[in-house]
Amino acid sequence: MESLQLDSLPSNYISANNIRIHYVRSGQGSPMVLLHGWPEFWYTWRHCIPTLAKQYNVVAPDLRGFGDTEKSPPGRNAGSPAETLAEDLLGLIDGLGLDRIALVSGDVGAYASMAFARKWPERLRGLFFFCCPYPGIGRRYGQPDHLIEVWYQYFNQLPWAAELVGSSRENCRTYFKHFLDHWSGDDPSVFAEDLEIWVDNFMKPGNIQGGFNWYVSSAATRLLSIEEKLPVKPRIEVPSRFLWGKHDPIVKPEWSDRLQEYFASFTIDFVDAGHFVHYQRPDIAAPEILEFFDAHK
């Protein structure tokens, strides 16, 4: 499958929701927005964009604090909750003159997508999720046998964590390589080609802390979710599609069993991959995205 190189698409910037958002754009037609997770940036979509851009006007931004999007404010803070990321998305598509969008996301991007869908459902043709963290996971996320997987969510909140990880390129590589490899099913070959590009990205000033700020911002909500004390909200009515990695160790596929409590209309399938389905199996991910949105025009 055709893939992009880092410099094959020009960088674009737009001021929206009081920050400067970086994005890349490719293709023509109906708009499609791709929202990455952690530890990622727009380049995580590089295997999917060429196929998607043959039919869609694809926009892949860096989320607030990630990649080349502004850190607001700089340093350690709780300035990037899901609701703010959703407002960033609204500002982005309004600024680009996009009306109804096809929205694809995973991980952190999935939180932003769900917040967006609850507030502005009329702006969406549909939602496509990879390995989606959602409130129905509940107490299972904090079970003793899962704590070994989520330790980083607490480490990332420590005031000195970003300084330690970024104290050398070697430390940065060691830290992020763990997640890229382990979440891909303990397969170091998956990200081997792009590992140094990931290190380059996170060694940019503010990028490690910018990503860690998501965990600072979401800490209170995460605790309520694990305690199953989040206020009950109406189900998301936007048509939704889930493609879940069978070997995802962080958002386990069996935890999709309560999606019907949170999504009114959805379909789901499982694929032989880890957490980064879009990167690891673009041969499946990209056609699935096209098929879903072709049916929801």
Catalytic residues: 107, 215, 275
**224-233 burial: b if 16+ Cβ within 10 Å, else e:** ebbeeeeeee
Closest by CA position to 134, among listed 254, 246, 260, 262: 262
DSSP state of 236: B
What CA–CA distance (Å, rounded) separates 241 from 292? 7
17 in helix, strand or coil?
coil
**Token pair recorded at residue 213:** 């700020």
Contact at 8 Å (CB) between 52 and 27? yes
Contact at 8 Å (CB) between 157 and 216? yes
- With 0-12 / 13-18 / 19 or more C-beta atoms within 10 angstroms meaning exposed / middle / buried, residue 77 is middle
| Phi, psi for 103 (deg, rounded to 5) | -115, 120
Where do runs of H (alpha helix) occur along the chain? 49-52, 82-95, 108-119, 144-155, 161-165, 169-182, 195-202, 207-226, 277-280, 282-294
Closest by CA position to 79, among listed 217, 187, 188, 205: 217
Neighbours of 123 (CB within 10 A): 18
